[in-house]
Structures are given as C-alpha cells and as structure tokens.
Chain A
Amino acid sequence: MLQQIGTLIKKEWLLEMRAKSSLAGILVYIFSSLFISYLSFKQIVDVATWNALFWLLILFTAVNAIAKSFLSESRGVQLFYYSLLSPQIVIISKIIYNGCMLFMLAVFTWFFYGIFLGNPVQDCVTFMITLFLGCFGMSSVLSMISAIASRAGQQSSFMAILGFPVLLPILLIIIHLSKNAIDGLNFNTNLKYITLLLSMNLMVPALAFILFPYLWRE
C-alpha cells in the first residue's frame, strides 16, 4: 500500500514536470498577487495585518493549486485508477502530494513576501511548524473538496464556495499560532494550538479516508 502511494505521488510529480505550465502558472500567480499587495500596501507596520495578508495569499494559492487535482482529470483517467487501485490510496496520495506542493509554495511565498513587505517573524521554528501543519491541513480539506466539486461537475469557483466555510476553523487556529510565532511568544503557550492543529491534521484525512470511496462509486 505504501508503495502504491509512493508510485502515485511520483506519477503526480512527473505529470507536473511534464506540463510545466501549470506549476509556472501558480508561481506567477503568487508573484503577481505579492506584487499587487506590495504596491497597494508599500509597507506593513502592523503585525496582525502582515499575518492576515500572508495567510490570505496562501489560502488563495491553495485553492488555485489544489483545485486542479481532481478537476483536471478526465473520466477516462479516473476510471483507469479505479480499476487498478483502491480509492483510499488515491485520496491519501493526493493529500500528501498537495501538502508537499503547498508547503513548497508557502515557503516560496514567505521568502518573497519577506523581501517585499519585510519579515517580522521572531520565532522562525514555530512559524515553519505552522506553515507545515497549516499546509497539510489545507491540503487535506481542499483535496476532498476538489473531489466533491469535480463530482458535482462544477467549475473551480465551487472550490471557494464549498471550501472556505470548512477551512475557517483550521485557518483561525493557524492565524492565532502564526501571530504567536511572529511575536515570539514562549513555546509552551503555542503548544495547545499545535496539538489542536495536529489533531485536525489527523482527523480530516481520516474523514477523507472514510468518505472518499462513496464519492467514487458510480
């Protein structure tokens, strides 16, 4: 099973590399939205605003990057998977792949965001943990939502309609935690948020694991 997941993740990566335009598209998307924020804000003094804007950028990047994970696959390709693999393997590999992808994009965003708008983060380790857990949380929610949206036969605007309300609790925890990391608070105060985020990161994939097979059946 682990081997199958590994193969699927490798396949996703190969496909991504073969059609470089979609990855390049996301990078340009991030870069241009960063540039727009830079031109409209010039300088951000307030830490809370820095934090909120950063996570909004990540949120929109995530919706755009993950929307295609099921929406872009044709019915033929999906049928092919289903004849070969169990649905659980498909969703888990998607979650892991999208999580890694989103994490890389988030680090990229952080780097350029820091260059343009300054980097007030005091506790970089906690901030990295937040980025990592946050990206995997978003990826597990949005991968599942992408599957639902593709089943409903809808455009990617459906991702936002269905995804944002479900993402809200995760996003709130992330924003709290990352605000603490920026202010450099003691690690012990962050611990309860990290455990909460971690448990969400276990709960959501577990839900996806149970529910995805039902989306599949047709």
Chain B
Amino acid sequence: MKNWWKILCVLLLFYTLIAGFLMPIPALPILNESIRNLYFHVTMWFGMIIHMIVSMVYSIKYLSKNDLRKDVIAEQFAITGMVFGIAGLLTGMIWAKNTWGAYWVNDTKLNGAAAAMLIYAAYFILRGSTDEESKRARISAVYLVFAFPLMLVFIYVLPRMTDSLHPGNGGNPAFGKYDLDNNMRLVFYPAIIAWSLLGVWISTIRVRIKNLWKQAEE
C-alpha cells in the first residue's frame, strides 16, 4: 500500500465536499451560509504555503547538491503553489464580495497574497529567460531563496502590525475564538489535509512527467 495517501486524499476530498456543504454551521450575521467558504478559501492558503516551503527547501537542496532533479521538484511545486494561491485569491474575492461588499478591498492580507503571486510570476519569467539548464536552475534558486523570507515578512509580519478586515487581525476576533464551533473543526482540519495532499499529488505527477520529457529529449 504505497499509495495509501492518495486514497486518503480522495476520501477526505469527498468528505470535505459533502460534509462541507451539508454539515450544520453556526448561524452568524453577515456571514450566513458563506462561512462554508472557510473549507475552500482558508485551506488554499495552507496548501500554497506548504508548496512554497517545499519549493524553497528543494531550491536550497539544489544549491548545495547541484542535482538538476531537485530543480525540477522546486519548479513544479512552485507552479502548483501558484495555482493554489490564485484559487485562494478567487475564492477570497467571491467571499469578500458577499461579506465586505467588494471584490477587492485594501487589506494587508490581500496585498500580501498579491505580492506573493507577483514574486512567483517573476520567478517563472526568470526561469524562462535563460536556456542553459544548470544556469537557469542556479539563478532561479538564488532568486527564490532570496525572495522567500521577504515574502514571509509581507504575509506574516505586516498583517500583524496593521489593521485588517480578516478575523484575528487588528482588533477583529479570530475565527477560532467565537465562530468556529466543533462541528466546523470536524470538517476544517480534514479539509486542510485533503487539499494539501491533492496539491502534493498533482506536483509529484508533474515532476514525473517533466522527468520523462527530459529523458525523451536525451
């Protein structure tokens, strides 16, 4: 049973979808039924961060070992991370429209997420600009390792210093404190695992495809 985690992923995804839409939720003003978006919006950020960390770790590994397979992993995880980030932004925008009244509000967390997307877009542009494989791998790994801590400052430090509309920041109570009852936790935590596993699954398949392409070229 080498693939137990893939089965787990599919089961948990079904659970997330079914329970996420059907399980009871606390009746809250403004949020109403939209609180169910918690299982689809917040979980995207967990998935994104996991992918970005993996991508950075493999960039460091590439720099120390000079092994091009590490670079392939770093690149593919960055791509999936960016897909998760865009999905997080989109689900967040729909939620924001229905609760805050606009698709985009000037909020530190939104700006941080958008900046993270910009950094990864720059990373892919940098990758596309050089043809030589080892050079491309080294330069982009250096850029990613350089940009990642600055991005973390943007995503984790700045929102804690300024006001934000998000719960848990700037005087707004955290979700966990009042809103998230135990019924929601029963879905929320498995949902995080499910989406993250799905992302890892996609990335590993992409890595294998990329490696096969490279073999075919040789």
Contact = CB atoms under 8 A, between A and B. Distances in A.
B118 A165 contact: yes
A22 interface: no
A200 B162 CA distance: 17
Interface in B63-90: 63
Given A166-B150, A204-B150, A148 B161 contact: no
B126 A152 contact: yes
Contacts of A176: 162
Contacts of B122: 161-162, 165-166
A200 B63 contact: no
Given A169-B153, A200-B153, A148 B145 contact: no
A211 B126 contact: no
Interface stretch (B44-52, B134-142, B175-183, B194-202): B134-142
A165 B130 CA distance: 20
A192 interface: yes
Interface residues of B, number: 29
A129 interface: no
A215 interface: yes
B161 A196 contact: yes
**Chain A CB within 10 A, most for which of B121, B141, B142:** B142
Contacts of B186: none
A172 B118 contact: no
A161 B118 CA distance: 9
B125 interface: yes
A78 B111 CA distance: 38
A162 B143 contact: yes
Contacts of B161: 192-193, 196
Contacts of B125: 161-162
Contact of A166 (B63, B139, B146): B146
Interface of B: 63, 111, 115, 118-119, 121-122, 125-126, 129-130, 135, 138-139, 141-143, 145-147, 149-151, 153-154, 157-158, 161-162
Interface of A: 141, 144, 148, 151-154, 158, 161-162, 164-166, 168-170, 172-173, 176, 192-193, 196, 200, 203-204, 207-208, 211, 214-215, 217-218
14 contacts: A151-B135, A152-B129, A153-B129, A162-B122, A162-B126, A165-B115, A166-B119, A169-B115, A169-B158, A173-B158, A204-B150, A211-B145, A215-B142, A218-B135
